[in-house]
Structure formats: structure tokens, C-alpha cells
Amino acid sequence: MKVSIIGATGYTGEELLRLLSSHPQAEIVAITSESQTGAAISEIYPHLQPFYDHKLVSMQQLDDIAAQSDVVFIALPHGHAMEAGKKIVAKGAKVIDLGADYRFRDTSVYEKWYKLPHTHKEAKAVYGLTELYRKDVKGATIVGNPGCYTTASILAVAPLLKQQLIEPNSVVIDAKSGVSGAGRSLGLNSHFTEVFENVKAYNIAGHRHTPEIEQALGELAGSEIFINFTPHLIPVARGILSTCYGTLKSGVTPAQVDEAFNSLYQEEYFIRLLGRGGYPATKNTRGSNFCDIGWHIDPRTNRVIVVSAIDNLVKGAAGQAVQNMNVMFGLDERLGLTQAPLYP
């Protein structure tokens, strides 16, 4: 497959290049950057030597890039993928957008939360949480790759809502992310002295991943639902730990909870179930496309507590995008993604 990456110098673009360097069916044909056009990617990211000697080109060459590509990954801030997506599909290539522009079935939800007009309403994009939407992804032309918080949180709660074991509007999600989730651009909130030895919540009751989580969980529940989602920034480079709470319906047993997770995920290579009593940790998924899930039941409060851990740059972004690419082109889903996690 001929592969191009629009926005290759951010953390997500770099991670795509790292993963695709070991993909036996992928050839990089073009990578772009508007701020560093003409530079070699190995100058910006020396760790990619000797895997790539490609020079960065401008998006002004997008028509030519799309014409020579089978699939184009778009790793740009929200609001920038829609016009690019139109041009790419017009040239016959497929699109995997790692931003938010194609994640919502109802584009008015995007416009409400992102405060931008949606200019590609006719796109018929598919939401790319592979384990839940694999059949849709297989036939897709445009895939909206899920956000990092959403991946960890939806996968944690999905079995419970699919089997109708919890009260739909009782879901509370407390999630923590490494600093790389904020991107590579400089900013006060990701400054070393602001982050080091510090943990803080942000965007309480207003984070843009909230409606994305509600969209997927609502489809599983069969009705519109509302959740409480609180993100936190923690002083690590990579990783997301999502702790999710739900009130069990009357009569639900621990065995039913166990069966819900096992039945949905037992055949999923990238989901590692730690079982009831398990404690996922971000370090155990670092650098990998795995999502680790464990769950606990509190009989005093009649709640189930599910913990999930992922690498936000891999399963939460680039790895899931490669997984979707494999599905879209009828390949083994694991190609390019079987690296063991890094430890310690």
C-alpha cells in the first residue's frame, strides 16, 4: 500500500512513522509539514534514522499526494481535515483522520462542541474504534479515528452497556493522561515546571471527548445517555488510565459481569483482560497497541469499577489508525502492531 501522512511532525505523525517502519505491506510515499517543509524527517526525529530519509513537503501538493496514495493519514488539529479529506477521496484514496473532524455521526454535535462549521457533511465517515465497529471500518472510505481518552473509556464500559448490566446514566469516568496527549506545540500547561510533581484536573464537565464517549455508549445502550467525564494531566510522557464507575442493575451478579467482558473481548488480540480484581497500569502498555482491562465490584455501593490502560499515542492514536488501515485493506489486523510493550 502507498501511504502518506499529512502532518507528520507531531507526536501522532511521528508515531505513525515508527509503527509503519515495521509494516510489511506499507510504503511511505509522502509526508507533509507546513512549518518545516524541505527538512528531512530524520533531522527532526533522529530516532527514525535509518528508517526514513523522506523530506517534508507542503500540503499545496495535496492533489499529487492523494493521486499516488492508497491511504492518507491526516494528523492535523481539528478543523483542518475536512477540506483535505474532500480532495483526497476525490482522487480515489482512503482517509484515516486522527483528529475530531470525522468522529461524529451527527455533525451538529461536532459544531456545538468544537465551535466550527462542519464542511464535509456528506462524507459518510465511519467511527474507527476497531473492536466495536470492525464491519463498518472494513468498507469505509473515511474513518474518524477515536480520541485517546475515548478509546480507553469506551472499551472499559462497552461490555456492561451492551449486556444492559448497569444503569445507563450512572456512568462516571475519571481518566488520567500523559503530557504527550497535549501535542508537541509549546504551551504553559505542558511546561516542565507546571507538570512535574503535579496532578490536576481540567475541562471538568466540558471536555470535547465527552460527546464522543456518549455517542458510542449510547449506541450500545440503545438510547441517548449522559456521563460525567473528568480528565486529569499527570507527569508522565505516555499513557492513559481510565477508571469508570457504573451502578449495577438489580439482580446482576459478578459472574454476569465477568461473562460480559469475556464474551465481547475473548477473541480480541489487542484487548488483554486482567479479570475481576485486576489492576491495569500504564507502564504495562507503553509503546504497544494493547488495552488492558480489569474490573472490581463493590457490594456496599452496588457499583462496578472498571479500570483500563492504554498508550495514548499508540492504541489511543497511531496504533489504532494502523489497525483500522489493516481492516480497510483486508489485511491481518495485527500487521505492524505486534511489538511488545516497553518496560520499565
Active site residues: 148
Q: At 211, phi and psi to the nearest 5? A: -65, -25
**Residue 231 grid cell:** 480528565
DSSP secondary structure, 264-314, as one string: HHTT-TTEEEEEET----GGGTTTSS-EEEEEEEETTTTEEEEEEEE-TTI
Q: Vertex 288, ends 284 and 289: CA angle to 5°? A: 115
Q: Which of 101-131 are b and which e, b meaning 16 or more Cβ less than 10 Å from the residue's Cβ?
A: bbbbeebebbeebbeeebebeebebbbbbbb
| Cβ–Cβ < 8 Å for 262, 279 | no
Q: How far apart are CA 235 and CA 178, in angstroms?
A: 6
Task: List Cβ neighbours of 164 (8 Å cut-off, separation of 6 or more).
Answer: 221, 249
Angle CA 110–111–117, to nearest 5: 120
**CA count, 13 A, side-chain hemisphere, 313:** 23
Query: Please, which residues bridge with residue 200 across strands?
Result: 233
